[in-house]
Amino acid sequence: MYIKAWLQKGYIFRSSFPRDGRISPSELQQCVVAIGGELSLAEAETVVELLDSDGDGLLELEDFVRLTEGGEEEEKVKDLREAFKMYEMDGCGCITPKSLKRMLSRLGESKSLDECEFMIAQFDLNGDGVINFDEFRSMMT
């Protein structure tokens, strides 16, 4: 699984580590592990070292966004599918309010089912109460 899929569009950055707008290698590692991925501290340190634009040993949002951008379209779609699968836990091919609530809980975000339904409604283009892959892709790009 690619790091880009784990960290798509900086959601984890913004929601998990809002203190001073920067994250350390150990915080990056914790993010990836929290959503079921694998990343050693050494790998996290390498990622930060490669993307740290000001040399302070921390990723700022701008650095972090560079991690999620770039690459071929095919790779982007593959990464999006992997990210989608992390939220789509019920095997129905869509993100339900229940599966969104579970994933947010794994990330340390406590949301009610009603709040998750509201979040989904913001991007539910066909009004069926769930997010399919095409809606997820539109939301993330």
Q: Where in the chain is the domain with CATH 1.10.238.10?
A: 3-68, 73-140
Per-residue model confidence as pLDDT tens digits over 76-114: 777 788 888 888 877 889 999 999 999 888 888 899 999
Per-residue model confidence as pLDDT tens digits over 4-16: 554 554 555 555 5
Nearest to 9 by CA among 139, 140, 103, 131: 140
Looking at the domain covering 3-68, what would its CATH class be? mainly alpha
Q: What is the DSSP letter of 60?
A: E
Give residue 72's pLDDT.
Answer: 59
Is residue 130 pLDDT above 90, yes or no?
Answer: yes
Q: Between 8 and 75, whose confidence is greater? A: 75
Q: What is the dihedral sign for C-alpha 10, 12, 16, 22?
A: negative
Per-residue model confidence as pLDDT tens digits over 29-48: 887 787 777 888 988 888 88
Q: Are 132 and 94 in contact (CB under 8 A)?
A: yes
Give residue 121's pLDDT.
Answer: 94
- The token pair at 105 is 């809980």
Assigned CATH for 73-140: 1.10.238.10
